[in-house]
A and B are shown apart, each in its own frame.
Chain A
Amino acid sequence: MRLEVKDLRVQYGKIEAIKGISFTVEQGEIVTLIGANGAGKTTTLKTISGLRAVASGSITYNGEDISKVPAHERVNLGISQAPEGRGIFPGMTVLENLEIGKYSRKDRKNEMAEDLEKVYHLFPRLKERINQAGGTLSGGEQQMLAIGRALMARPNVLLLDEPSMGLAPMMIQNIFNIITSINKELGTTILLVEQNAQQALQRAHRAYVLETGKIVKEAKASDLLNDPAVRAAYLGTGAEKGHH
């Protein structure tokens, strides 16, 4: 698996939200994309998934330009996403939400039981709630469901859009622990978009900083964690207090 975004530009009407960004995600990595509100993180993930059109530049997946491939076919290629705000189907049960996550798989009948088990193993809370309507789950449970549902498609690369959004500190720890174990145990490559830079940088291998549609910094995640400018801007601690 190799994902490469090159000179990507994305527009909403005349407004350019992504202004020529390039980055790569290599097999087995957790790569994080951090940035403030409106930086273009969600737009980037949506474009990789095919929900937004590429204005110019390319998205290459395993050496092939996929920027013209329709969204529903990209899932089949191995790119899954747990979107911002979770996107749970509210009127469907937890089980139905997971089942629809397998929509793209040809061999879904045979894989279903095994993959449900896999998801229940990661998220025991979901197993207790299989017949509950998705819309009645708590925020944390919905996030678990969104990630579990994305895993049902057996992705090579998993795109996560702010999985910690709106969750209590305990739940945030929990979700990030699971993200780490999905990467380590299932070997799934992860592209993680976050505003919680502290957690994201602790978990990721490499990181990119996005500011108003441009990548302004890229480094090993652990290096950024100690970067005074990053600390000042994204970690809520001034440069003078930074650890060196």
Chain B
Amino acid sequence: MNFSVVVNQFWPLLINGLAVGLIYVLISLGYTMVYGVLRLINFANSEIFMVGTFATVIVTRDIFKYTSAHEALHGFKLVATLLLILIASMLFSGVTAVLVELVAYRRLRSKGTNRLASLISAIGTSIMISEGVRILTKSAPVPTPRLLTKFNLISIGGVDIRIDTFLVIVSAALIFFMVDRFVTKTLLGKAIRAVSMSEETSKLMGVNLNRVISATFLIGGLVTGAAAFLYMQVYETTVFNVGFNLGLAAFTAAVLGGIGNIRGAFYGGLTLGLFEQYASAIIGGQWKAVTVFSVLVLVLLFKPNGLFGEAIQQSRV
């Protein structure tokens, strides 16, 4: 136990907690939006994240043909390249999510089977994707070539903020606010919220349920893919089971904020990211997974509607 570290390292831990937390926020949107419309925990979302990290590697390494020996990119070329890789990763995850819904859930739903069947199908799909990638990669970690030279962008009061951390915080926050606005302001967003409140009444409004469900998986997948891209800019390596811990943490974040609730995912992700940073500084990094899991169990036991429960239920998807 080392409590002084919290005081000494308060600001660096805060910055890191924000970056990690915002990645959780994006992944947890994938869980929370799908839960909103289907009342189904999409266990395959962790694999949709994993697939996104590999998309980042493949596009960087095999399509743009960058190698780790490559000269660093600058200026417009850097921004444009990163943006293209981001979009490709988002699309890859988004399309995977839509396919997962079509293959693993839709038929079960149209047959009117119960939720348990869908849940098992979700877990099965998740295992299938990650085992598939395990075989393809022979379980080896896969690095992505570095495009972004890592330097300290700004230094505030002795705290350095690295360019990649800055990129994560700004982009993830921006993407979250775009999703939030989309869901509250657009007609499709309203339909997604309507379906989450009542499937039957939504149909009476002329809402095509299957289309709205596909759209929800697409948006959840796109956002999870963005998280995968940002993750890769910081950690630069992925592996077939990279989604396991991150998926679990993001799911915990979603539950913490009240699953089904978009703004809840935001607060839940940030809370968990910060908590995890400070807690592992105090009790040691090796306990990180345990802290996350304990939070999940405690929330499910004592606050199953999430910490922010009723107060922000109105923003539920």
Contact = CB atoms under 8 A, between A and B. Distances in A.
Taking residues whose C-beta sits less than 8 angstroms from the other chain, chain A's interface range is: 20 to 34
B288 to A, nearest CB: 35
B207 interface: yes
14 contacts: A49-B204, A51-B203, A51-B204, A71-B203, A72-B208, A72-B209, A83-B200, A87-B200, A89-B197, A91-B316, A92-B193, A96-B190, A99-B190, A100-B194
Contacts of B313: 91
Given A87-B198, A89-B198, A100 B204 contact: no
Nearest to B211: A72
A87 B204 contact: yes
Given A90-B197, A91-B314, A92-B197, A101 B205 contact: yes
A150 B316 CA distance: 23
Contacts of B203: 49-51, 71-72
Contact of B314 (A76, A80, A133, A150): A133
| B contacts with A: majority SS | helix
B315 interface: yes
A81 interface: yes
A103 interface: yes
Contacts of B294: none
Contacts of B187: 99-100, 103, 108
A148 to B, nearest CB: 13
B206 A91 contact: no
A153 B194 contact: no
Contact of B204 (A81, A92, A133): A81
Interface of A: 49-51, 70-73, 75-76, 80-81, 83, 87, 89-92, 96, 99-101, 103-104, 108, 133, 149-150, 153
A51 B193 CA distance: 19
B197 to A, nearest CB: 5
Contacts of B206: 72-73, 75-76, 103-104, 153
Interface residues of B, number: 21
B306 to A, nearest CB: 15
B201 interface: yes
A49 B208 CA distance: 14
Interface in B188-226: 190-191, 193-194, 197-198, 200-209
Nearest to B199: A51
B92 to A, nearest CB: 30
B190 A100 contact: yes
Contacts of A90: 197
A100 B191 contact: yes
B14 to A, nearest CB: 33
Contacts of A76: 206
Contacts of A71: 203-204
A96 to B, nearest CB: 6
Given A92-B194, A103-B206, 7 more contacts: A70-B208, A72-B209, A76-B206, A81-B204, A89-B194, A89-B198, A103-B207
B260 to A, nearest CB: 10
Contacts of B194: 89, 92, 100
